[in-house]
Amino acid sequence: MTQQTLQETVASFDELTAKRMGRVRRYLRTHPRLVVIGAVVLYLLLTLPGVLIAAAMPGANATGLLVTTLAVSAALLYRRKAPMTVIVLVFVFECVALIIAGPQGGLGGVGMIIALYTVATSYSAKRTIPLAVLAGSFQVVLMVLMGFPDMEGMELDPSDGIDEAVFSRIIIGISGSFVIGFYIAAAAVGMNVRNARIHEAELNHWARQVSSLAQVQERNRIAREMHDVVAHSLSVMIALSEGARVVAKRDQARADEVLNELSGTGRAALADMRRMLGVLRQNETGELEPQPTGGNVEQLLEGFRTAGLPITFTHTGGDLPEDTTFQLTVFRMIQESLTNSLRYARNVSDVQVRLERRHDDELRLEVMDNGDATRVPSVGSGRGLRGMRERAALYEGTVEAGPVASGGWIVKAVLKIPECGVKNDKQKTAKE
């Protein structure tokens, strides 16, 4: 997966999330100031009619009610920046309005509902639910202290069995339940929105985490491929150039062959690199890496033989599976092992390359040279051996490398053949 593909994946996820929200929510999400102003306008539309009615009553403090209403409106403009501070201010202003207007007036609790909703979208339920209950209970108590309910003008017939005190408690209970219920409902809606936002944020986080991980894996894969191509080609080219310099003095025809092989190796390496880097630049749909397969192993070995390695190749137990990725893994591991022998081994007289397919589900690879026990000091970064182990891990395999007691170096790898490869081989056998 290329970086462009990863970016498209994340963009597609964001697009799906936006579509799921709908046009209205998507528009409001991208215009937060409009939402804040809309909430203030809604508050004024719901509150001002009651304020005007209360202000028209005899003895009412119209100026005080209007000032507290505007103060709540101003506070709500900052509800997203400082929700806790805003809810405290709104609560105080509404209590002041309740005291000014008396038990039958006040601001109706609309400001507290909006403020509680905002707090619930920012804080957990452990804070918002108790806050809603405490705010509603305090306002109900304050209403009772201010003389709510006002029983003047209400005629209750004792013969009907209705007691004034009991009736007053019923009204207080119903009113208090409505106030507290509305506050809890506002907090519940806010908590639901908060949970949805957290869920969406987690999905976006994991999408980006997976994207980042895939990018790291892609970079490692590209680095592994580039290392295999460059290290192999340069090692072979160096060996060929040194051989050509020696042979040119004695056999010009042989020197020409070596130089032709040298130029061919260089052109092949350049083509591989151009193919890989070209795909990365142009974001083509083709596969990123060059795809040598099992059929290219003989050609690979012939190139190393020309470079001076006396290779003996043994392949037993059946052909490689048709899985091209598996064949690429085998090809690269043989290439890396022989490149190391070419670069570091001294006085090599025999290099054994053995491929053995066992039980239709396992492949054993062994590359061993008989160079001197004292090898040329390594100038590499260790990426080659690490790359072989990473490739083997893709097929639940292992790689072991180390010196041989009798002298030389050996690389052993065991790979589990993928099930699709086993099925393809069985189908091929059945057809034959």
CB 94 within 8 A of CB 68: yes
Q: What is the mean pLDDT of residues 416-427?
A: 65
Q: What is the CATH number of the domain that holds 364?
A: 3.30.565.10
> Considering the domain boundaries, does residue 22 fall inside one?
yes
Predicted pLDDT at 419: 76
316: left (phi over 0), alpha (psi -120 to 50) or beta: beta
> Considering the domain boundaries, does residue 421 fall inside one?
no
Q: Where are the alpha helices (DSSP H) in 77-163?
A: 83-101, 110-122, 125-145
The phi and psi torsions of 293 (rounded to 5 degrees) equal -125, -170
> Considering the domain boundaries, does residue 301 fall inside one?
yes
- CA 330 to CA 292: how far, in whole Å? 10
> Considering the domain boundaries, does residue 204 fall inside one?
yes
Give 170 or 6, the one with higher predicted confidence. Answer: 170
Indicate if 41 and 92 belong to the same structural domain.
yes
The single-letter DSSP state of residue 158 is G
Indicate if 26 and 103 belong to the same structural domain.
yes
Indicate if 59 and 187 belong to the same structural domain.
yes
> Considering the domain boundaries, does residue 154 fall inside one?
no
Indicate if 364 and 233 belong to the same structural domain.
no
Indicate if 78 and 126 belong to the same structural domain.
yes
> Considering the domain boundaries, does residue 349 fall inside one?
yes
Q: Which of 355, 358, 341 is nearest to 412 (CA)?
A: 355
Instruction: Look over the chain and give the mean of its residue pLDDT values, rounded to a whole number.
Output: 78
Indicate if 235 and 320 belong to the same structural domain.
no
100-128 pLDDT, tens digit each:
876 555 667 889 999 999 999 999 888 89
Among 210, 230, 248, the domain boundary falls at: 210
Q: Is the pLDDT of residue 300 over 70?
A: yes
Indicate if 27 and 168 belong to the same structural domain.
yes
Q: What is the mean pLDDT of residues 17-35?
A: 76
> Considering the domain boundaries, does residue 104 fall inside one?
yes
- CA 76 to CA 35: how far, in whole Å? 11
Indicate if 177 and 194 belong to the same structural domain.
yes
Indicate if 228 and 365 belong to the same structural domain.
no
- Report the domain count for the chain: 3
Greatest mean pLDDT among 12-16, 33-37, 155-159, 376-380 lies in: 33-37
> Considering the domain boundaries, does residue 4 fall inside one?
no
String of DSSP letters for 286-328: S-SS----GGGHHHHHHHHHHHT--EEEEEESSPPPS-HHHHH
214-226 pLDDT, tens digit each:
666 766 777 666 7
Indicate if 265 and 330 belong to the same structural domain.
no
Domain enclosing residue 229, as ranges:
215-280
353: part of which helix (H) or strand (E)?
Answer: strand 351-358
Band of residue 2 on the pLDDT scale cut at 50, 70, 90: very low
Predicted pLDDT at 1: 45
Contacts 24+ apart (CB under 8 A), 259-264: 261/303, 261/306, 261/307, 262/237
Indicate if 227 and 336 belong to the same structural domain.
no
**pTM for the complete prediction?**
0.53
Indicate if 199 and 97 belong to the same structural domain.
yes
